[in-house]
Structure 1
């Protein structure tokens, strides 16, 4: 295990959570509520009164390796997918062909990045690439508003040059679960650009658990969601979910690979 962790961090310059002496924000229900509204019900490139989105069906992922390093990329990807499924209750599996998938995940190179983004996410996605290191997006059912498909494109050489390959693997698939926005109000979190760590924080696991509570349904807006979020967070306090958030974050397979 130590050899794998050293290999991963040596190659990707990863930064992970070892302990949480400060910023125990996930213990404050008001803080969590505000962070949830900001990351789940707002959008990075557009203002407006957005609706809650998430998956209402199993996720099936096809990974296209266009560059070397498949074994290591698969190791990291599979570990994180296992944890996401555990946190959300959504079945997530890898499939062997593109036609079976509702998520297309491409490991490519910088020279092919724009081409793959346009192909998988549409030409409009090219307008929001300035400053981005990797890219993801999803499509919604026009009737229900649920997520029906998604694509993730990671230019491996570009991500590695920035020391962000692990962060891209973690953040992009997590965001297409239905948490599309980065926000200063969420900290420590992979949805905050000022957070240096690359793995899910305790706040992140609470946000993911919240999103996939059945009381929060696709199509809700902030005004509808807020009182339900408060109710769920009161329950989380009584059940010890918030107190256990550090242990939950650290229980993920990816953390076991690189976080110890």
Structure 2
């Protein structure tokens, strides 16, 4: 009889464990996961040892588009849709300008044959070594207060189209120069994960952007200073439904219906 009771207890434990586990589809909504994702994407840098502190814009972003290939109108429209979305999420003023000297973010739409030269001119000679294997590229510069004050994005359009990633390049690279520079396989679903098919911002990406531009954060804050503040914000979002509704809210961006989302 004791053996039978023990068997029932073990059977009950085995078949109740899956119910207690977190559904992978909503794992990104767990507070601990969101916090870890922020650490990976905002406080690390895939091409530099710099990081582990908050870097973001503290002034309006003005974007100049350098069209070196056809379809300028299409590219401009796609960029403006995403800039509007980023502005709505972060609260920053983000607009295109007609003169290069008025811009602090330069976007170059070029072709593959000029790709390496453009990278060298905008990012420096050392950046040429990371061109191989990349479809498009972005970089930003911070001042002494760790505020982002200059950024550039380069998209070789023929190469991006060949890989089916023109829109992905526009969305990911502009979003990264907002202060989320790192790609990570640990962050899912996200445009910052090269192994996922995300083309547009996911609900998790929306939350990461909102976290980065929370008033409680300041550029230059260390990981130790920033994470306790963000943990409190995430807890509030869990209570008020922000986290649960993020995947719906993010789809208010103009690119989503355009791509059939």
TM-score (normalizing by structure 2): 0.88
Does the C-alpha gap of structure 1 residues 173 and 49 become closer, same or farther in structure 2, counting only changes over 3 Å?
Answer: closer
1:206 matched residue in structure 2: 207
Superposition deviation, residue 26 in structure 1: 3.3
Q: Distance in 2 between matches of 1:179 and 1:103?
A: 15
Q: 1:49 Cα deviation (Å)?
A: 5.5
Q: What is the rounded CA distance, in whole Å, between the counterparts of 1:241 and 1:26 in structure 2?
A: 13
In 1, the alpha carbon distance for the partners of 2:50 and 2:86 equals: 28
Higher relative contact order (CA 8 A, sep 6+): 1
| Aligned counterparts, 1:111-122, within 5 A | 111-122=113-124
Superposed counterparts of 1:187-206, under 5 Å: 187-206=188-207
Tell me the distance in 2 between the aligned counterparts of 1:163 and 1:209.
28
Larger-Rg structure: 2
Structure 1 residue 78, shift from structure 2 partner: 0.8
CA-CA distance at 1:47 after TM superposition: 4.1
> What's the counterpart of residue 98 of structure 1?
100
In structure 2, the residue matched to 1:126 is 128
Q: Would the aligned equivalents of 2:138 and 2:174 in 1 still touch at CA under 8 Å?
A: yes
Going from structure 1 to structure 2, the CA distance change for 1:105 and 1:48 (only over 3 Å counts) comes to closer
Q: CA deviation at 1:25?
A: 3.0
TM-score normalised to structure 1 length:
0.89
- Alignment correspondent of 2:167: 166
Kept in 2, the 8 Å contact 1:236–1:242? The answer is yes
- With over 3 angstroms needed to count, the CA separation of the structure-2 counterparts of 1:49 and 1:174, relative to structure 1, is closer
Give the distance between the partners of 1:66 and 1:162, measured in 2 at CA.
19
**Structure 2 counterpart of 1:227:** 228
How many residues end up aligned between the 2 structures? 239
Find runs of 4+ consecutive structure 1 residues off by over 3 angstroms: 46-49
Q: Gapped runs of 5+ residues in structure 1?
A: 1-20
Whether the aligned pair in 2 keeps the contact of 1:25 and 1:203 (CA below 8 Å) is no
Alignment equivalent of 2:40, drawn from 38, 41, 50: 38
